[in-house]
Amino acid sequence: MTMPKRKVSTDGATPKKRTKPPLPQATAAPEPQPSESANGESRAVQGKPRSLVVVESPTKARTLKKFLTRRYDVFASMGHLKDLPRSQLGVDVKNGFTPKYIVVKGKGGILKELKEAAKQAPAVFMATDPDREGEAISWHLADALRPVNPEIKRIEFHEITKEAVRKALAHPREIDLNLVNAQQARRILDRLVGYKLSPLLWRKIRGGLSAGRVQSVAVRLVVEREREIESFVPQEFWSLLARLREDDQHIEARLYGKDGTRYGSPGEEDVTVLRTRDDVDAIVRDLDGVTYTVGEVRRKDQFRHPAPPFTTSTLQQEANRKLGYSAARTMNVAQQLYEGVDLGPEGTVGLITYMRTDSVRVSEGAQREAREYVTQTYGESYVPDSPRIYRSRREAQEAHEAIRPTAVRRAPDRVKPFLRSDQYKVYKLIWERFLASQMASAIMDTLSVDIHAGSFLFRATGSRVKFPGFLAVYREGTDANGEEKEGWLPELTTGDQLTLMELAPQQHFTQPPPRYTEASLVKALEERGIGRPSTYAPTIETIKRRGYVHSTSRRLQPTDLGVLVNDMLVEHFGDVIDYDFTATMEEELDQVEEGRLDWKKVVGDFYKPFEHDLVIAEKKIEEVKMPVVEIGEACPVCGRPLVRKHGRFGEFIACSGFPECKYTRPLGIGVPCPKCKVGEVVERRSRRGRTFFGCSTYPACTFTSWDKPTDKVCPRCGKNVLGIHQTARKTTLRCLDRTCGYTEPVTPEPAEEPVAR
Q: Which residues are catalytic?
A: 354
Strands 51-55 and 72-76: parallel
- The per-residue DSSP string of 497-533 comes to EEEEEEEEEEEEE--PPPPPPHHHHHHHHHHTT-S-T
Neighbours of 525 (CB within 10 A): 25
Quote the CA–CA distance of 238 and 505 in Å, as a whole number: 7
Residue 209 φ/ψ, nearest 5 degrees: -85, 165
Q: Phi and psi of 669, rounded to 5°?
A: -105, 5
Helix (H) or strand (E) holding 330: helix 327-339
**325: CB partners within 8 A, 6+ apart:** 319, 333, 422, 426, 728
724 neighbors 712 (Cβ within 8 angstroms): no
Please state the separation of Cα 454 from the chain's center in Å.
52
Closest CA to 390 of 368, 366, 359, 365: 359
- 440 close to 378: Cβ distance less than 8 angstroms: no
Query: What is the Cα Rg of the chain in Å?
Result: 31
By the 8 A CB rule, do 355 and 312 touch?
yes
Task: Quote the CA–CA distance of 557 and 560 in Å, as a whole number.
Answer: 10
* Cα separation, 20 vs 480, whole angstroms: 58
| Pairing mode of beta strands 272-273, 152-154 | unpaired
Closest by CA to 71, choosing from 102, 46, 54, is: 46
DSSP of 163-222, one letter per residue? HHHHHHHHS-B---HHHHHHHHHHHHHHHHHHHHHHHHHHHHT-TT----TTHHHHHHHH
Where do the DSSP E strands lie in 575-657?
Answer: 629-634, 641-647, 650-655
| Cβ proximity of 409 and 341 under 8 Å | no
Residues 6+ apart with CB under 8 A from 206: 626, 646
